[in-house]
A = this chain, B = another copy of it.
Amino acid sequence: MLPFARVTVIGLGLIGSSILRAVRVHMPTVRLTGHDVDPDVRQTVRALDLCDDVTDTAGAAVIDADLVILCVPVGIMGDVAAGFAADLPADAIVSDVGSCKASVQAALRAALPGAIVIPAHPVAGTERSGPEAGFSSLFHKRYCIITPEEGADETAIARLESFWEKLGADVERMDAAHHDLVLAVTSHLPHLIAYTIVGTASDLETVTQSEVIKYSAGGFRDFTRIAASDPTMWRDVFLANKDAVLEMLQRFSEDLSALQRAIRWDKGDELFELFSRTRAVRRSIIEQGQDDAREDFGRTHE
């Protein structure tokens, strides 16, 4: 029993193309349709043969879908949805993969009055972008958070949950506002900090760019991975989840100031106490299968 027979993906980058690939692997009889606003991306997806149909318009892509998943930057979710609203079947479920949920929920609700909208967020990705960067196991053992509105249809929620479970994800339900707070700390703040430090290191006068790159194995290189993430996607996330991001950023800045003061005044005990505490967090992440258990993320040392 498959939850959907005809799935449409709008936006065929890393996440969208990974969904296509994962559906092909786990639900090979599902009819898959894709659309992307960029003709080059459509051409690539056709060449890679990732779905049954690639349409030139979003409307043509949704016309007989029973599930439509929006995989576009969160800032344009509403506009994209409005573009296919007239062609959307009344019984189709519309979902998305955006990294913040309250703003997306509001935008989709406004663009698609009366439609069945169940927002979702698979917490998965890599630093690469585009249809060639996707792979079918991206969602395997990762969480997918579903944020249905109060009173949303339980059958529709159950079908979407089943869909993500078949792609290998562990599904959780959460209130959209709480999702945005949780992800502000586990994802948005880390990206903001990574982008910042890579920028800071690039702008020094006393240390050259080539020295920064040469000696990056001392720790800096870890930050450059997520600072290589898609700029449009992340610009939109910070603006769409502004309140939660600013709140987390404020806390982080206070904590950083406290450490700065501890260094300035030689308070080694304060440093040691924090540095001992943070080890346990890493251990828990590994124990719960949320990171590679091998040291150094499993990087090769040969």
Interface residues of A (CB under 8 A from B): 75, 99, 123-128, 133, 135, 137-138, 140, 142-143, 145, 172, 181-183, 185-204, 206-207, 209, 211-229, 231-232, 234-236, 238-239, 242, 245-246, 248-249, 251-253, 255-257, 259-260, 263-264, 266, 268, 271-272, 274-279, 281-285, 288, 290-292, 295-302
Q: For A142, give the chain B residue with the smallest CB separation.
A: B217
Q: Assess the B204–A281 pair: CB atoms within 8 A.
A: no
Number of this chain's copies in the assembly equals 2
Q: For A170, give the chain B residue with the smallest CB separation.
A: B214
**A-B contact list, 16 entries, CB within 8 Å:** A126-B295, A137-B302, A186-B211, A187-B218, A198-B282, A209-B284, A216-B290, A224-B281, A224-B282, A227-B279, A227-B282, A228-B279, A228-B283, A231-B275, A231-B279, A239-B263
With A196-B256, A252-B200 known to touch, is A217 a contact of B275 (CB < 8 Å)? no
Q: A67 CA to B230 CA in the complex, in Å? A: 49
User: Which of B187, B189, B192, B296 is A127 in contact with, Cβ under 8 Å?
Assistant: B296
Chain B residues, CB < 8 A from A142: 217
Q: Assess the B272–A133 pair: CB atoms within 8 A.
A: no
Chain B residues, CB < 8 A from A127: 282, 295-296
Task: Say how far A249's CB is from chain B's closest CB, in angstroms.
Answer: 6
Q: Assess the A292–B285 pair: CB atoms within 8 A.
A: no
Chain B residues, CB < 8 A from A239: 263, 266, 268, 271
Q: Assess the A219–B194 pair: CB atoms within 8 A.
A: yes
Q: Assess the A232–B263 pair: CB atoms within 8 A.
A: no
Q: For A212, give the chain B residue with the smallest CB separation.
A: B186
User: Which of B191, B213, B274, B298 is A284 in contact with, Cβ under 8 Å?
Assistant: B213
Chain B residues, CB < 8 A from A282: 127, 198, 224-225, 227-228
Chain B residues, CB < 8 A from A234: 271, 275
With A199-B277, A221-B291, A231-B279 known to touch, is A298 a contact of B301 (CB < 8 Å)? no
Chain B residues, CB < 8 A from A187: 215, 218-220
Q: Assess the B263–A246 pair: CB atoms within 8 A.
A: yes
Q: Assess the B224–A140 pair: CB atoms within 8 A.
A: no
Q: A190 CA to B172 CA in the complex, in Å? A: 32
Q: A234 CA to B274 CA in the complex, in Å? A: 11
Q: Assess the B197–A281 pair: CB atoms within 8 A.
A: no
Q: A251 CA to B207 CA in the complex, in Å? A: 13
Task: Say how far A49's CB is from chain B's closest CB, in angstroms.
Answer: 22
Chain B residues, CB < 8 A from A299: 291-292, 297-298
User: Which of B182, B191, B198, B255 is A196 in contact with, Cβ under 8 Å?
Assistant: B255
